[in-house]
Amino acid sequence: FQAVSPDNDNLWGYNVGSPVYCSAAITIYNDLVFVDSEGTFYFYDLDLINGNGGSVDPVAEFPMGSGVVSSIAVDEIILYITTLGGTLVKLEYDPIFVNQPDENWVFTADDVITSSPIIGSNHEIYFGTNNGTIYSIDSETGETIWSFDTGAPVNSTGSLAEYGTDMDRLYIGNDNGDVFALSLSDGTPFWIYNSGSSVVSSFLYDLGVVYFGTVDGRILRVADTEPMMAATLRDDVREET
Structure confidence by residue, pLDDT tens digits, 4-48: 888 998 888 899 999 999 999 999 999 999 999 999 999 999 888
Q: How far apart are CA 35 and CA 32, in angstroms?
A: 11
Q: What is the pLDDT of residues 158-167, one digit of tens each?
A: 999 999 999 9
**pTM to 2 decimal places:** 0.92
Strand partners, 178: 194
Side-chain-side CA neighbours of residue 60 (13 Å)? 17
Q: How far apart are CA 8 and CA 5, in angstroms?
A: 5
Give the pLDDT of the chain (241 residues) as one tens digit per residue: 888 888 998 888 899 999 999 999 999 999 999 999 999 999 999 888 877 777 888 999 999 999 999 999 999 999 999 999 999 999 999 888 777 899 999 999 999 999 999 999 999 999 999 999 999 999 999 999 999 999 999 999 999 999 999 999 999 999 999 999 999 999 999 999 999 999 999 999 999 999 999 999 999 999 999 998 988 886 654 444 3
Strand partners, 45: 31
3-state SS, residue 233: helix
Phi, psi at 235, each rounded to 5°: -65, -35
DSSP string, 87-142: EEEEEE--TTT-SS-EEEEEEE-SS---SPPEE-TTS-EEEE-TTSEEEEE-TTT-
Phi, psi at 240, each rounded to 5°: -70, -35
CB 126 within 8 A of CB 135: yes
Phi, psi at 46, each rounded to 5°: -65, -20
Beta strand pairing call for 31-35 and 25-26: antiparallel
Question: One-letter amino acid identity for 29?
Answer: Y
Q: Alpha helices of the chain — where are they, by DSSP H?
A: 226-240
DSSP class of 184:
T
Q: Which of 103, 106, 147 is nearest to 129 (CA)?
A: 147
